[in-house]
Structure 1
Amino acid sequence: MLQKIKTRYWNLRAKVRAKSYQGLFSVINFAVWCRHLPDLFASRRCGTPEISARSACCIDVDSGKVVAQKNHHFRYAPASIVKLATALVLVSSGKLLKDEYVTIEASDVAEPVGSSMKLKQGDIVSYLDLLYGMLLASGNDAARATARAIGQTMLQDESATGDPTIRFVAAMNELADSLGMKSTRFCNPSGQDLWRQYSTACDLAILASAAFSNPVIQDVISVREHIAKIQGDNARDEALLSTLDNIDRTQVVGGKTGTTINARACLALLLKQRSGERVVIVTLGSELDSVTEGERRITSLSRYKDMEKMIEHVQSPGTGFRG
């Protein structure tokens, strides 16, 4: 009974926040629409299929050319697509090369809602398994543990004090600046809703291009399952299943999902054309199908229907790709 009350509370709070966020983003995006009005008219030449997503962007990875877009400069909540930035900071830290491990703390697993890789306090996990946990299973616990541990190392290297997670998030924003993501602000490593955290389909396509071009990250997103070796007093094998489903994987290398009440259903995919070109497609805010009580499972078939339409558009004549 207590768990049901807690779950109901979190669902109601999420809905209230979602209404507030949507109103705030509406005001911001109207200003963006006015500023980018000439670009928006010009970009119609790219063509965009009818999709339920609020925003979308498709770019050629090698040239950076925008192939198709919908409201791609508008700001929205990015959900777990944020974990691509978390993953890039992790890979650049060198922790994977050193084969280091993290001891999980209570704060890493404290959040009662959202996806996880089922970590428990006291678990000892390799950074590689944390990478699989955040990208394959979209584990918020994996992202928090990574940020806390690497952030602490950053502070020690700088002989500084402070909150390690805040230091890690600063590195995420430094990464965004270096990639030219001008309309992005990260506030946490997991992508859970915060009104100060936002991005655009255009910026996230840039981020996804950088992340999916990394060979380690590309290996992680391309598999459907990974067995994490958890050590400690509660040693076990934990099966991590990809959250990417309901999509034809023929030409799809892999991708990253993101889902919250406010952001709705988001998706970033790496598509490899038969002709060799690599394309990244990002859709933000596809319609949600349901929110299940208890485990708070949020589903969306619309996300995949939107993505299928975007893929068909990219492969159609006139886009510059041979398919």
Structure 2
Amino acid sequence: MNRVISCICALLALAMPALADEAVMVVEAHSGKVLIGRHTTVKRPVASLTKIATGVLVVDWAEAAGVDLATTRVTVPPAVAGLGGANPMQLAPGESLSALDALFSAMLGSDNAAALTLADHVGREFLRRHGRSGDPVGAFVQEMNHLAEALNMRKTRFVNPHGLEAPNSVGLSTAADIAKLSIYAMRRPGMSFVTRQPSRQVKVSGAAGERIFNIKNTNQLVSEHVIGLKTGTTAAAGECLAVAVERDPLIRPKADGSKGVTPRRLIVVLLDSPNRFARAKGLIDQGWGIYDSWVNSGATVQDRDREILTVPDPRG
């Protein structure tokens, strides 16, 4: 049966005509079982999938520092003025909003200005904690790369908190590394709560008073079972997508009469995809089919290094 599953994976990888540049990684998050892979370790730009690292780092910082993101105010830094890219709230230097609203806008609306604002605020806290001075955004990006190292994302280097490319400054990652990051991010209840929202109303305070915006999730697949995660698009990266899909736990009787409960969550990563949402839908169905066959055949692992994607917990 294991040979059959391996053949299925190989056939699925080959059955991707006209997708020569697309990288694909499909993995079951709780077991780490790799189900489908193509170009998984090729380094390339990942656009706003970068914001997964930004978001989870903000969530981890808030938990470690005992900070309530809903009541913490962040101020838009001067660097936003020349940033470019998505800025759905038209954030301007000196305006403020809650850290939670900035997180919603960054993750749902792929808001580059909100991501930079969060990085500036949290980066200042990192510098203060270490008794240092310097560039707060640079300090934040350094922590993003420390997180990547802790997750064994060996081919990843972040250069900013939003994913925009600039001459001689392009962040790179791989489908396998983004899958590791996505698995870790979805372990954090704060992240899964944010990324599963279809939309969110946020507020910004500026010189003219308070503005209210409704931020829609750029992930068209978000639903009851699709709980995130992030979209990304640039000319260099193409269409990118990381999706997390929940399934009801598998409950089976054990020999001692008790019941075993196996949680199930699928992570799908697409880089430089010609049609990311349609491709993801097909890969979700294919992934679950391969996973079910693997479980029904005994969930055996012959080569752990090749078959299992291991994601450590850097929080200890």
Identify unmatched segments of 5+ residues in structure 1: 1-40, 288-301
Instruction: Tell me the equivalent position of 1:75.
Output: 43
Instruction: Tell me the equivalent position of 2:131.
Output: 159
Call closer, same or farther: CA 1:50–1:237 in 2, change over 3 Å.
same
Identify unmatched segments of 5+ residues in structure 2: 1-5, 251-262, 297-316
Alignment of 1:135-214 (within 5 A): 135-194=107-166, 195-214=169-188
The 3-state SS of whatever aligns with 2:53 is: helix
Call closer, same or farther: CA 1:173–1:248 in 2, change over 3 Å.
closer
TM-score normalised to structure 2 length: 0.78
Q: Distance in 2 between matches of 1:58 and 1:115?
A: 31
The 3-state SS of whatever aligns with 2:41 is: coil
The 8 Å contact of residues 252 and 272 in structure 1, kept in 2 or not, is answered as: yes
Q: Does 1:60 align with 2:28?
A: yes
Instruction: Tell me the equivalent position of 1:281.
Output: 268
Alignment of 1:2-41 (within 5 A): none
The 3-state SS of whatever aligns with 1:272 is: strand
**One-letter identity of the residue aligned with 1:236:** R
Instruction: Tell me the equivalent position of 1:303.
Output: 276
TM-score normalised to structure 1 length: 0.76
Q: Does 1:113 align with 2:79?
A: no
The 8 Å contact of residues 196 and 223 in structure 2, kept in 1 or not, is answered as: no
Shift of 1:238: 1.4
Q: Distance in 2 between matches of 1:42 and 1:111?
A: 47
Residue-pair matches, total: 267
Instruction: Tell me the equivalent position of 2:205.
Output: 231
Q: Distance in 1 between matches of 2:230 and 2:286?
A: 20
Call closer, same or farther: CA 1:280–1:321 in 2, change over 3 Å.
farther
The 3-state SS of whatever aligns with 2:25 is: strand
The 8 Å contact of residues 45 and 171 in structure 2, kept in 1 or not, is answered as: yes
Instruction: Tell me the equivalent position of 1:87.
Output: 55
Q: Does 1:241 align with 2:216?
A: yes
Deviations 1:259-280 (A, max 9, x none): 0000000000001124441011
**One-letter identity of the residue aligned with 1:50:** M
CA RMSD of aligned residues (A): 2.3
Q: Distance in 2 between matches of 1:248 and 1:219?
A: 12
Q: Distance in 1 between matches of 2:129 and 2:225?
A: 42
The 8 Å contact of residues 117 and 138 in structure 1, kept in 2 or not, is answered as: no
Shift of 1:121: 2.3
Shift of 1:227: 0.8
Alignment of 1:114-133 (within 5 A): 114-133=86-105
Greater fraction helix: 1
Deviations 1:201-260 (A, max 9, x none): 000000011112211110111111111122242311111111111x37353122210000
Call closer, same or farther: CA 1:81–1:72 in 2, change over 3 Å.
same
